[in-house]
Structure 1
Amino acid sequence: MTDKIIPVPEGSMVRRGILGLSAAGAAVGGLASAGLGLLAPTSARAQEAGTSRLQTVLERGHLIVGTGSTNPPWHFEDESGTLVGMDIDMARLLARGLFDDPEKVEFVLQGPDARIPSLITEKVDIVCQFMTVTPGRAQQADFTVPYYREGVGVMMMADGDYKTFDDLKAAGSDLTLSALQNVFIEDWAHKELPEARVDQFESPDAALQALNARRVDGYFGDQSAIRWLMQQAPDRYIDAGRGWMPNSYASAVKQGDPIWLNWVNTVYREAMLGVDFDYFAASYQKWFGITLETPKVGFPSEFA
């Protein structure tokens, strides 16, 4: 099917909600045969499978994914207006696994604050939207296995005065960084560059332009954004070579559906380590400029 994109106004849904786990009754031994109204194990499994989101999606015939459109390299519109990015690739990977067709996906565009509410209200089947795994969010949604480890870092001009992270640190208070305005941004930068001055800007573009105009010595931001910018102009910028403040990006599903969560995790794991590795590796190369090493054959390394 052709992609269907439905925008959802940011903040248009309730922010919080805790859902109880669904469960099917089961009986063992003589209890089932005693006519006590309990489900036998086979019946319990059938009921559980029938109520899973996996079955709902298969019967519907396409996947509904919550995502965004303004944050490269995760999700954005290319020059032709097509929605692309790493999150989009992960969604299409799921659609291919479900229907053998990566086009059978409907994207619901939403703001970051609508990610969990859209799951709770079942507007989407899954969220693929640069979502950081946190204990608080894990109380409201179930996270998949992570598919990217994010962090912050510094990007510099390739022909600038500083070439390495050690150069930046040695500069002390003479170092000036540009960054997107955030109440915590100076604290984040000062964790590794305690003497640096941080000039804050209202948009990432303005922060980048400050670097291009050489009004600052480095651009401080997410490492994924830095990798993307370096992909666009490989001879213009260099990475300082150090990242800090790690956080994991994963997809999220509504709580209480282990069948659906397990299926998505199976697809993601085999993309990172198994049958769909070539697809996953191509996405990493395209969006981050990272060449992934082919998993070694033999005993599965994740169990070593």
Structure 2
Amino acid sequence: MLRRRISKAGVVLALALACGTSAHAESSLDAVRARGLIRVGVKTDAPPFGFIDARGHPVGFEVDLARFFARVLFDDEGRARLVPVTTSTRFAELQAGRVDLLLATVTATEQRRTVAELSDPYFTSGSLILVARDSRLGTLGEAAGRKVAVVKGSVQEADVAELQPRAILITVGSLAAGAHAVRSGQADAFLYDDVAVLALARRDPALRVTGAPIRPRPYVAAARKEDTGLIRWVNGWLAKMRRDGTYRG
């Protein structure tokens, strides 16, 4: 996913991006450097972005990205402290100062821009519906009176309320809980990010995906409000990674 290469020009870019920002932003990057590690909130239940492998280690695209940023800062990917977060806890962890940055399938929305600084996009994801293999449900429009599960705090929670207000909304705590709700018959459908839902359906023959992607939105990194220096630094590296082929988003 991410080729491990950092050019001399890239280091110069990082230094330039760290300069010329507000005092608040400079102090944030300075604090990370002084601490000797960057604390990144990542998912552990959202393959392929963040999950636990067979050996019990965190892996995934966003985990790789966190380690890449640590290599840029400290020439050591082990200086990324990976803090497990969930959809419902990630912004609380950020606001409490327990993480410096979120790389946790954060979808960019206007509401989230009011509580955090958001980076440029690094991925785009819509929502898909997961149903039981023998279900006749085809679209969200057909879900009036049906039980639709969503992860608490996700964009899908608001989407269902807006797009199908006659659905019976059920909130769950995780991706796995949403799949279980459908599998056990507690919910008629589960609405979540497309890549994660497709991965669930591939692994479980009792489940399938139906309908077209709903409301594609970008995934972004998030930092505390007014921490513009850190986000500018992230944006600079995302742009450089695209230019030099380290990552093609």
Q: Which residue of 1 aligns with 2:6?
A: none
Q: How does 1:1-304 map to 2 (within 5 A)?
A: 45=20, 48=23, 51-155=26-130, 168=138, 179-180=149-150, 188=160, 191=163, 203-210=177-184, 220-232=191-203, 239-240=209-210, 242-277=212-247
Separation of aligned partners in 2, 1:268 and 1:237: 35
Gaps of 5+ in 1: 1-43, 282-291, 293-304
Find the residue that maps to 1:97 and give its secondary structure.
Answer: helix
Q: Which residue of 2 aligns with 1:17?
A: none
Q: CA deviation at 1:127?
A: 1.6
Q: What is the alpha-carbon root mean square deviation over aligned residues?
A: 4.4
Separation of aligned partners in 1, 2:104 and 2:60: 10
Q: Deviations over 1:80-131 (max 9, x none)?
A: 2112233322212211222333222112234545434444443322122222
Query: Which structure has the larger Rg over C-alpha atoms?
Result: 1
Is the 8 Å Cα contact of residues 49 and 62 (structure 2) preserved in structure 1? Answer: yes
Separation of aligned partners in 2, 1:70 and 1:161: 25
Gaps of 5+ in 2: 1-18
Distance 1:231 1:94, change over 3 A: farther
Distance 1:93 1:137, change over 3 A: same
TM-score by length of 1: 0.55
Larger fraction in strand: 2
Separation of aligned partners in 2, 1:125 and 1:208: 35
- The higher-RCO structure (CA 8 Å, 6+ apart) is 2
Is the 8 Å Cα contact of residues 92 and 105 (structure 1) preserved in structure 2? Answer: yes
Q: Deviations over 1:242-278 (max 9, x none)?
A: 111333321111233433221111122333453312x
Q: Deviations over 1:167-226 (max 9, x none)?
A: 936x968xx8864487x869739948x99x879686323234258xxx999764331222
Separation of aligned partners in 2, 1:237 and 1:45: 52
Separation of aligned partners in 2, 1:106 and 1:118: 14
Find the residue that maps to 1:123 and give its secondary structure.
Answer: coil
Q: Deviations over 1:40-78 (max 9, x none)?
A: xxxx95994993322332333221112343444443322
Q: After TM superposition, what 4+ stretches of structure 1 lie above 6 angstroms from structure 2?
A: 184-187, 215-218
Number of corresponding residues? 224
Is the 8 Å Cα contact of residues 155 and 238 (structure 1) preserved in structure 2? Answer: yes
Distance 1:100 1:116, change over 3 A: same
Is the 8 Å Cα contact of residues 42 and 82 (structure 2) preserved in structure 1? Answer: yes
Is the 8 Å Cα contact of residues 152 and 221 (structure 1) preserved in structure 2? Answer: yes
